Structure 1
Amino acid sequence: MLKLQNISKQYNDKFVLENINLEIETGEIVSLLGPSGSGKTTLLNIILGLTSVEQGKIIFNETDLSNVRMKERGFNIVFQDYALFPHLDAYENIVYGLRNKKGVVTDEELQEYIDFLELKPHLNKKTAELSGGQKQRVALARTLVMKPKILLLDEPLSALDGVIKESIKQRIKSIARQFKLTTIIVTHDPEEALTMSDKILIINKGSVSQFGSPKEIINQPANDFVKEFILKQLEIKRENIYNLFGEKYA
């Protein structure tokens, strides 16, 4: 569905991304995982169309989008800070993008998204009255009503913790499954990537360290960086890995 072919990006003669190749199937959840400054956010912005690509191609359903403007790609993003309008209530935020795109979603579909995200009791609340989890759900609903071809999420769980974090994690997975929506997530947290994703692209210093399923990455790390980053840098305990996959780390 989505192919990145030899994607490279430079700033001031320095490569922030170099020869990135990636293939994502319809409905898959793929995490872009790496430390700060690894290039994962730049790659997300290139897919979205917010950042231009200098070398390589972005192919979506066999169409080259490399030089297609962001608005014409049909991809949508939920930003890390949710980017909700403070002067609007939750419902007005959800339908804001529909003002100039009549007919994108029916009233029944709109209600389905609201019910699916359990937002009905909060529709009249202003942004300041919403909890972090409620803001995240409003931001997700606002994106879903636009019927994106690909859903992009920038650090969707970074401002959340505990039960709320686990709830949003499950909702994101449910959204991808129920609506067969290809979802790309940027995260610096290995545990988030391992528990949410079908595939994980681990980026280090602008290059791909490994691309594979969570089990493949846990049991067959491609190099020392992957092993260090997953198990040591962020101190994910081996017991947690056992709980995640029910099998020992190789």
Structure 2
Amino acid sequence: MLELKHIKKSYDGMPVLRDISIQVGDGEIVSILGPSGCGKTTLLNLILGITDADEGQILYNGEDLTHTVMEKRGFNIVFQDYALFPNLNVYKNIIYGLKNRPGISAREEVEELIDLLGLREHLDKRIDQLSGGQKQRVALARTMVMKPRILLLDEPLSALDGVIKESIKDRIRTIAKEYHLTTIIVTHDPEEALTLSDRVLIIDQGSISQYAQPAEIICRPQNDFVRKFILNQLEIKRNNIYALFGGGAARGKAV
């Protein structure tokens, strides 16, 4: 279990995160949702260890990681731009991290992951020969072979749309559940957060507005910000979202 306790972070005297306290269960998918500039990427960076909190604690299974360097936390991230190596083919990108830590994943495990992500036919291709969705799958595979304790995803679907976006979303959820992998996703898209996650953390101006299961957020928004943010962002697609969580009854309660 990951636990954040009273996390605070400021830059140049300006508060970015204000007293963030949450628990993320083992194997749970949690999305960090909010408008641009609300502090969600800063929170992801604090969990990963790229930056340090001004106050508070980060605990994993009771172990205090607050001052543990990123390399020793065992958390891995897939960045928004994928950060793949253009001079290596798909297969070499996937196994790149194993050259220094070969015992993490056996060849059979790598092959299983390749098949799970549907990359078998692309292994010899250059990165510039891949679509956005294929690059995202390669980035996921490269991260997964390192067997992270927690998988962090920074806007994983922002560059995708349509059928490709839905396919990658399904694969992310399949991987998280297949490997019982705690997964934390930063997104600004409520539809993505509500349909992909077990729980959603909604942040407004560095503070928690609501942390709950998608159905509860839809049916019982905790405050005006959550209600307006969700409804405004989902104005076109909200009927599809409501249908997932109880149809008209859910919609009536949320509105």
TM range (shorter): over 0.9
Query: How many pairs were matched up?
Result: 250
> Are 1:202 and 2:202 counterparts?
yes
Mean Cα deviation higher: 187-196 or 239-248:
239-248
Q: Which residue number in structure 1 is paired with residue 172 of structure 2?
A: 172
8 Å CA contact 2:190–2:233 kept in 1: the answer is no
Rounded to whole Å, the distance in 2 between the matches of 1:238 and 1:31 is 18
> Are 1:4 and 2:4 counterparts?
yes
> Are 1:125 and 2:125 counterparts?
yes
Q: Which residue number in structure 1 is paired with residue 225 of structure 2?
A: 225
Q: For residues 190 and 104 of structure 1, do their structure 2 counterparts lie closer, same or farther at Cα, with a shift above 3 Å needed?
A: same
Rounded to whole Å, the distance in 2 between the matches of 1:62 and 1:246 is 37
Shift of 1:54: 1.3
Q: Which residue number in structure 1 is paired with residue 69 of structure 2?
A: 69
Q: For residues 144 and 80 of structure 1, do their structure 2 counterparts lie closer, same or farther at Cα, with a shift above 3 Å needed?
A: same
After TM superposition, the structure 1 = structure 2 runs for residues 95-134 of structure 1, keeping only pairs within 5 Å, are 95-134=95-134
Shift of 1:243: 2.2
Mean Cα deviation higher: 59-68 or 237-246:
237-246
After TM superposition, the structure 1 = structure 2 runs for residues 1-250 of structure 1, keeping only pairs within 5 Å, are 1-247=1-247, 248-249=250-251, 250=253
Rounded to whole Å, the distance in 2 between the matches of 1:99 and 1:67 is 27
Superposition RMSD in Å: 0.9
8 Å CA contact 2:189–2:233 kept in 1: the answer is no
Rounded to whole Å, the distance in 2 between the matches of 1:14 and 1:105 is 43
Gaps of 5+ in 1: none
Shift of 1:235: 2.5
Runs of 4+ with >4 A deviation: none
Rounded to whole Å, the distance in 2 between the matches of 1:73 and 1:157 is 25
Question: Normalising by the residue count of structure 2, what TM-score does the alignment of the two structures yield?
Answer: 0.96
Shift of 1:102: 1.7
8 Å CA contact 1:39–1:206 kept in 2: the answer is yes
Shift of 1:234: 4.8
Q: Percent identity?
A: 64
Shift of 1:237: 4.2
8 Å CA contact 1:149–1:182 kept in 2: the answer is yes
Gaps of 5+ in 2: none
Rounded to whole Å, the distance in 2 between the matches of 1:163 and 1:130 is 16
Rounded to whole Å, the distance in 2 between the matches of 1:238 and 1:82 is 30
